[in-house]
Chains A and B, each alone.
Chain A
């Protein structure tokens, strides 16, 4: 049974007790998923899993706020540079929420195109930030190897940086999108209805 209600606006957002507790939980999931990926030495970040789930449960605005707060808290506790990527997280939260409302997370076959769009959104927002802060690099060895190869062959910094970011985002967002889809499907319905009903 799908919990989607066609009558509500996806942009409707109130800071209710449910969303006030959902957002910190989503940020915590981002943190744990990222720590888990680092612990297993996976070639992906997984640090947007909570943002995906918050967008699916409580809409694009809640997802965007989760992503924003995630980067602000990270920036003020672990990695100050993460703060600027709050813009990327807002973009991811909004994109996931909109795609979810359009039905892209209803079937496994539809998740792939959704993940491609989200990866594109993430790369478009992150590229200028990478150029401003890191001269175009991402800090991930194999993405930066591609960046070095492209700049060595006189490709523009912007295109090389976009390619560096997009290849990383593509793999990461496809995996995160499928993880979010599978977790959402396995989640107890009372939880889904609770967070959706309290929007």
Chain B
């Protein structure tokens, strides 16, 4: 019961933050991670973004995105630990191979930045919906055409994925075996991609004609109303934009002083 109450209050808290504030949070935390000079500072930024992650009602996309980047973070630790040009102090030996402190610290600093970006982005992904984003972006001053382009991408991707699955199933049903050599794999590209791409452009043309017929370009247009209210949205935008500018200034100052 307490857990359910806590989850509900988390959902309410995240729902009262508007989408643009969430996007500005990604920008702010990314800049903060890039301003961090050492692992302690980077760790502090990481803790703040982790706090955002704990507020998430579900963490589905977070695991997928983290897994996607973990492999490269591990290879980064290995390569930089071995070959980073500033390597001097041996951290540990693995058989006859020496790993260096400087390279390991550098790789961990880079890895923490990646995790900061993933954690702050997952906060946006898991707590906003497409319809909420489209309404709020239009309310924030983006033209309805730009909003349409952005939102229709989100609807088209699953549709394209379904089309690809259909073509693959059709090939399997016809007994086409998965190719083994690189050349035979390359040869299967054209028969699948050409119909899929032509179909996509055909559907785009049909959608375009439908939009024109329905008067999408008409100057007299009913603006969608949003019934949601957000906590101090304008003030949050100004504050986060100002803090981000300060961080950009700090970074530029650091580069000039070097």
- A-side residues, CB < 8 A to B, are 15-18, 20-25, 27-29, 31-33, 35-36, 39-43, 49, 53, 57, 65, 69-70, 72-73, 75-81, 132-135, 137, 139, 144, 147-148, 151-152, 154, 156-157, 175, 179, 182-183, 186-188, 191, 194-195, 198
Contacts and interface: CB of A to CB of B under 8 A. Distances in A.
Interface stretch (B39-47, B74-82, B220-228): B74-82
Interface of B: 26, 34, 61, 64-65, 68-69, 71-72, 75-76, 79-80, 82-85, 106-107, 110, 113-114, 117-118, 121-122, 124-125, 143, 145-146, 148-150, 152-154, 156-157, 159-161, 163-164, 168, 179, 182, 185-186, 188-190, 192-194, 196-198, 200-205, 207-209, 211-212, 216-217
A16 B145 CA distance: 9
Nearest to B150: A69
Given A139-B72, A187-B201, A18 B208 contact: yes
Given A24-B153, A133-B110, A135-B80, A144 B188 contact: no
Contacts of B156: 24-25, 27-28
Contacts of B163: 32
A134 B161 contact: no
Given A20-B145, A183-B193, A32 B164 contact: yes
Contact of A135 (B26, B110, B117, B190): B110
A25 B193 contact: no
A179 B194 CA distance: 9
Given A17-B217, A24-B149, A137 B83 contact: no
A contact patch SS: helix
18 contacts: A25-B156, A25-B204, A27-B156, A28-B159, A29-B160, A31-B161, A35-B164, A40-B179, A42-B186, A77-B61, A77-B154, A79-B69, A81-B117, A134-B72, A137-B72, A148-B83, A183-B193, A195-B205
B154 A73 contact: yes
Contacts of B72: 134, 137, 139
